[in-house]
Amino acid sequence: MNPASFIGRSLVTWKDYSSEEILHLLDLSIAEKAKTRSGEVSQRFVGKTLAMIFEKRSTRTRCAFETAFGEEGGHPVFLSTQDIQLGGKESVEDTARVLGRMFSAIEFRGFKQATVETLAREAGVPVYNGLTDQYHPTQVLADVMTLKETFGKVAGLKLCYVGDGRNNVARSLMIISAKLGIHYTVVSPKELRTDEALIAECTPWARESGAKIEVTSDLSGVAGADALYTDVWVSMGEEDRKEERRRLLAPYQVNESLLAAAKNPACVFLHCLPAVKGEEVTTTVIEGPQSRVWDQAENRKHTIKAIMLATIPGRGYN
């Protein structure tokens, strides 16, 4: 893997990264974690700036980008929709051109995938998708890192996502699983199934990597899972669907009996967080011995740092 191949690249989804490239970023993330844990301090973003645009709220993503960049000597600038004109008085294209002249890289969290793609096309600097309605790519690298730490490998594992199969996390997990040879099963009510278009897009990657992609409404689909993953029933921006989601998803709660239905004592529980305890997951499961959610949260920072080190020109690994 030539590190130069990452320089200047954006991350809007994992679709345009090869399996080898994703595995390389995974290795860098693991190396960064070891480095942080050893207490080694470095200043690889000195003289660099990061624009962090947030249309939606965030704890982990914001803090991961801001601390990963800042502690390496870079200057992160947080920009909410109260601060900038993005898409309102000023077009996304013009905002991208201006920020691209002032910043070394841009992070965007918001509603439309088209916004982050326009920023990536127009800014001339790396743009990172910190979550849109459709995708959450930085999250799933941390998830896969957590699997690697737990099982020592990722290819051949069975990852089972239970809940809203249409959401950003479920969809990004499908892409990264297909690329990395992880058997991925989505268990969701038929009204909330992952769209056929994404499944069709992932199919050739899965064929190449040996991943099996399955979508079912049947809870017995969790059998044999190495990891059970869930996410909130109501994603940001969909608050008006709360009652409908509770009705559809109540049978899909991850509780002790569903964890037992995996029939695998080594099965771990994953959640991107924030969690609504008592809805998609019980307190017993999320606080229980099989839960790895706090490792996942920590790994957001190491993976995001690795992505920035690899892609921002003139720093870190390139």
Site stretch for ligand NVA (CB under 6 A), options 86-94, 221-229, 232-240, 276-284: 232-240
* Contact in structure between 151 and 183 (CB atoms under 8 Å): no
Residues 91-150 that bind ligand NVA (CB under 6 A): 131
Residue 167: contacted member of ligand NVA, ligand CP, none (CB under 5 to 8 Å, by partner type): ligand NVA
Task: For residue 110, give the nearest of 92, 123, 98 by alpha carbon.
Answer: 92
232 in contact with ligand NVA (CB under 6 A):
yes
Whether 136 is a known active-site residue: answer yes
- Encoded one letter per residue, x for contact with ligand NVA by CB under 6 A and - for no contact, window 256-295 reads ----------------x-----------------------
Whether 27 is a known active-site residue: answer no
Whether 171 is a known active-site residue: answer no
Q: Six-digit token pair at 118?
A: 């326009």
State the minimum distance, in angstroms, from the CB of residue 218 to ligand CP: 28
**Identity of the residue, 48 or 60, whose beta carbon is nearer to ligand NVA in the bound complex:** 60
Q: Six-digit token pair at 160?
A: 């089972």
Task: For residue 269, give the nearest of 220, 227, 233 by alpha carbon.
Answer: 227
Q: Please, what is the Cα angle at 147 between 301 and 217, to 5 degrees?
A: 110
The residue number with the shortest CB distance to ligand NVA is 235
* Contact in structure between 23 and 47 (CB atoms under 8 Å): no
Q: Which of 20, 46, 59, 101 binds ligand CP (CB under 6 A)?
A: 59
Q: Which of 22, 147, 169, 173 binds ligand NVA (CB under 6 A)?
A: 169
Q: How far apart are CA 16 and CA 143, in angstroms?
A: 19
Whether 247 is a known active-site residue: answer no
- Encoded one letter per residue, x for contact with ligand CP by CB under 6 A and - for no contact, window 244-283 reads ----------------------------xxx---------
Residue 268 C-alpha from the chain's centroid: 18
Q: Which of 50, 141, 142, 236 binds ligand NVA (CB under 6 A)?
A: 236
CA distances from 67 to 63, 78, 152, 233, 304 (A): 6, 12, 27, 29, 10
**Identity of the residue, 103 or 229, whose beta carbon is nearer to ligand NVA in the bound complex:** 229
State the DSSP string of 116-153: HHHHHHHSSS-EEE---SS--HHHHHHHHHHHHHHHS-
167 in contact with ligand NVA (CB under 6 A):
yes
183 in contact with ligand CP (CB under 6 A):
no
Which listed residue (109, 171, 183, 271) is catalytic? Answer: 109
**Identity of the residue, 199 or 293, whose beta carbon is nearer to ligand CP in the bound complex:** 293
Helix runs in the chain, H state only = 19-38, 60-70, 92-102, 113-122, 137-151, 168-180, 196-209, 242-249, 256-261, 283-286, 293-311
* Contact in structure between 260 and 288 (CB atoms under 8 Å): no
172 in contact with ligand NVA (CB under 6 A):
no
**Identity of the residue, 57 or 247, whose beta carbon is nearer to ligand CP in the bound complex:** 57
Residue 59: contacted member of ligand NVA, ligand CP, none (CB under 5 to 8 Å, by partner type): ligand CP
Task: For residue 47, give the nearest of 317, 318, 312 by alpha carbon.
Answer: 312
Specify the 3-state DSSP secondary structure of 226: coil
295 in contact with ligand CP (CB under 6 A):
no
**Residues tagged active-site:** 109, 136, 139, 231, 272, 300
Applying CB under 6 A, the residues found at the interface with ligand CP are 58-61, 131, 139, 272-274
Applying CB under 6 A, the residues found at the interface with ligand NVA are 131, 167-169, 231-232, 235-236, 272
